[in-house]
């Protein structure tokens, strides 16, 4: 709902000592008509929605409302004689007025009290981190000079790092020295994903772009899970190649993959059993799907496919100097691609052809206010219907959407969304194939950038490069094909950049993200188990973007420090 509370809003807005919360503003409407009119509003983010009646404006009365500034607001009033429509971007803690009358039935909204700059905390936090980084870098350089330990430039060897990464991946508890033998760009990418995930999960300062989209669209928070899955896929290529070098039993490798998947599922269920996810700890309330469960299933499927069909080094060399050398990363793996395409074809056919009771076939929306309330109980279409049928009460139970109102339960990590994530993981697997098969940096980077362009064009074609248009809109909630392609596009691009900066040119060590990338599951599970506990977080007496952003950044930084401590202790814990 766009208006939070009319009576309470009037008291807080008119009380000079009262303080507004995050994303709140005051809106006073003076009705100078000699009759009552009804005031309606909705977020402009709400696509094809009916307007919701918010208040009755009595004649000659100044009605004060407390409204949300999360998204631009579409407002209007109507009666027998007049109606007025406006879209206005209210700012946080501002006080606005609107005077409607016979002489001026559709006036401009004016500002009574100036709003605050809600984005200033982001700039301040950015400057603080820049200064800290510069200070740390300069301090380290001074210490090195004083100790006489400035190291000469090292000659970089990609294949040597890959072989070292393979050996390191065979142990559940690996102790390394401080000059890690792993591929640094992989750990840096993984660290970026997990730290962003921790920041977003803790609230992201309550900024909309640091939180998940209401339904369609794309934010920073929407990208972190598919990025984590993508880099997991890249690691599968390296680890399975290593395991096949030391054993001929593909069955044993698959069993190890199954064991790892089961451990991830158990960790995910443990996270879901926490009291801030369910009202009680009984099994009837336990959510079965989850982030780690989704990662476990997609990992097991892709790792099993790779184990069954991956070729040895000698077999890979068959096409190395032939006519199709430029395509050997694809041609060597056509059976895997056929299976992945079959899974995605099945997903697409179910999405658009499965009959859902009282809902249109192929519906991908949130239900609720969407489509003017015609499909109120169709949340998630076929994907939502399958999850509710299979899991019942054992799924994500949140039914209050800030934009679309009350919707049916829909699990963002449900069965159909897990099928979509398999494609993301395999995109990462293919990126790993490129890393292994091509020796020159340019050959790798060009192919990653080409895949970035291809997936980006496919995503744009599916959604017509618009938020709410096209055959398949970009939706993290649905893990739609256009969203999967968009996330893969950015993943290929980001990894290509990191490979150049961290591995090839060595302009950047990957710090501080590389430390988090060494123990991602440990950090992910740990941040959930400690969520809301001191010293990671504390209860705020008055929430503002300043205080929330500071606390969320502190939480993320503290986990980064813990990751660095694990690195100093030479401990890498993998599931």
Q: Tell me the catalytic residues.
A: 212
566, 522 Cβ separation under 8 angstroms: yes
Q: How far is CA 563 from CA 128, 161, 184, 552, in A?
A: 21, 22, 15, 17
**Which residues contact residue 98 at a Cβ distance below 8 angstroms, ignoring those fewer than 6 apart?**
27, 28, 29, 30, 107, 109, 110
Closest CA to 526 of 270, 205, 211: 270
Encoded tokens for 11: 């008291």
From CA 27, how far away is CA 30, in angstroms rounded? 10
The beta-strand segments (E) located in 480-560 are none
Strands 95-100 and 24-31, sheet pairing: parallel
At how many degrees (to 10) do helices 184-201 and 220-246 cross? 140
From CA 203, how far away is CA 211, in angstroms rounded? 7
**Which residues contact residue 391 at a Cβ distance below 8 angstroms, ignoring those fewer than 6 apart?**
288, 289, 411, 414
Residue found under tokens 């993290």? 476
From CA 561, how far away is CA 403, in angstroms rounded? 37
> Taking the CB of residue 394, how many other CB atoms lie within 10 A of it?
17
108, 69 Cβ separation under 8 angstroms: no
* Neighbour-count burial of 435, counting CB atoms closer than 10 A to its CB (0-12 exposed, 13-18 middle, 19+ buried): buried
181, 161 Cβ separation under 8 angstroms: yes
300, 261 Cβ separation under 8 angstroms: yes
Q: What phi-psi label fits residue 392: left (phi over 0), alpha (psi between -120 and 50 degrees) or beta? A: left
Beta bridge partners of 101: none
């Amino acid at each position: 709902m766009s208006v939070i509370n009319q009576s309470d809003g009037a008291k807080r807005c008119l009380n000079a000592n009262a303080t507004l919360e995050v994303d709140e503003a005051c809106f006073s409407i003076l009705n100078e008509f000699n009759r009552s009119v009804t005031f309606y509003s909705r977020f402009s983010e709400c696509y094809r929605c009916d307007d919701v009646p918010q208040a009755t404006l009595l004649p000659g009365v100044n009605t004060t409302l407390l409204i949300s500034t999360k998204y631009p607001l579409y407002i209007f009033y109507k009666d027998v004689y007049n109606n007025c429509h406006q879209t206005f971007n209210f700012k946080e803690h501002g006080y606005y007025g609107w005077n409607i009358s016979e002489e001026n039935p559709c006036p401009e909204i004016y500002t009574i009290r100036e709003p605050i700059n809600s984005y200033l905390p982001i700039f301040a936090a950015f400057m603080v981190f820049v200064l800290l980084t510069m200070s740390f870098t300069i301090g380290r350089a001074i210490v090195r000079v004083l100790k006489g330990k400035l190291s000469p430039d090292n000659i970089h060897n990609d294949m040597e790092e890959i072989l070292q990464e393979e050996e390191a991946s065979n142990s559940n508890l690996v102790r390394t020295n401080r000059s890690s033998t792993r591929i640094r760009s992989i750990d840096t990418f993984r660290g970026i994903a997990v730290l962003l995930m921790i920041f977003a999960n803790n609230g992201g300062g309550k900024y909309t772009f640091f939180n998940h989209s209401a339904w369609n669209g794309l934010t920073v928070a929407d990208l972190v899970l598919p990025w984590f899955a993508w880099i997991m896929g890249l690691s599968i290529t390296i680890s399975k190649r290593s395991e096949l070098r030391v054993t001929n039993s593909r069955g044993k490798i698959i069993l190890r993959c199954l064991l790892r998947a089961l451990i991830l599922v158990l960790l995910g269920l443990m996270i879901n059993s926490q009291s801030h996810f369910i009202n009680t700890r009984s099994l009837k309330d336990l959510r079965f799907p989850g982030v780690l469960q989704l990662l476990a299933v997609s990992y097991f499927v892709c790792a099993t496919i790779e184990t069954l069909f991956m070729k040895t080094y000698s077999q890979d060399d068959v096409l190395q100097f032939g006519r199709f050398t430029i395509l050997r990363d694809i041609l060597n793996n056509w059976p895997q691609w056929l299976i992945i395409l079959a899974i995605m074809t099945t997903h697409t056919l179910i999405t658009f052809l499965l009959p859902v009771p009282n809902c249109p076939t192929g519906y991908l929306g949130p239900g609720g206010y969407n489509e003017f309330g015609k499909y109120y109980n169709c949340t998630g279409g076929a994907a939502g219907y399958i999850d509710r049928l299979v899991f019942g009460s054992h799924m994500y139970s949140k039914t209050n959407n800030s934009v679309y109102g009350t919707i049916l339960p829909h699990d963002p990590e449900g069965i159909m969304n897990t099928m979509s994530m398999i494609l993301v993981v395999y995109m990462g697997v293919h990126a790993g194939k490129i890393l292994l098969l091509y020796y020159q940096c340019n050959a790798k980077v060009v192919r990653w950038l080409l895949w970035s362009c291809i997936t980006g064009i496919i995503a744009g074609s599916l959604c017509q490069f618009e938020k709410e248009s096209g055959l398949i809109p970009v939706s993290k909630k649905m893990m739609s094909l256009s969203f999967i392609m968009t996330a893969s596009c950015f993943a290929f691009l980001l990894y290509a950049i990191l490979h150049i900066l961290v591995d090839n040119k060595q302009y950047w060590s990957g710090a501080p993200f590389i430390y988090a990338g060494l123990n991602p599951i440990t950090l992910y599970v740990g941040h959930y188990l400690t969520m809301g506990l001191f010293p990671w977080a504390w209860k705020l007496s008055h929430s503002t973007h300043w205080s929330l952003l500071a606390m969320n950044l502190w939480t993320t930084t503290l986990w980064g420090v813990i990751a660095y401590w694990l690195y100093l202790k030479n401990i890498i814990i993998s599931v």
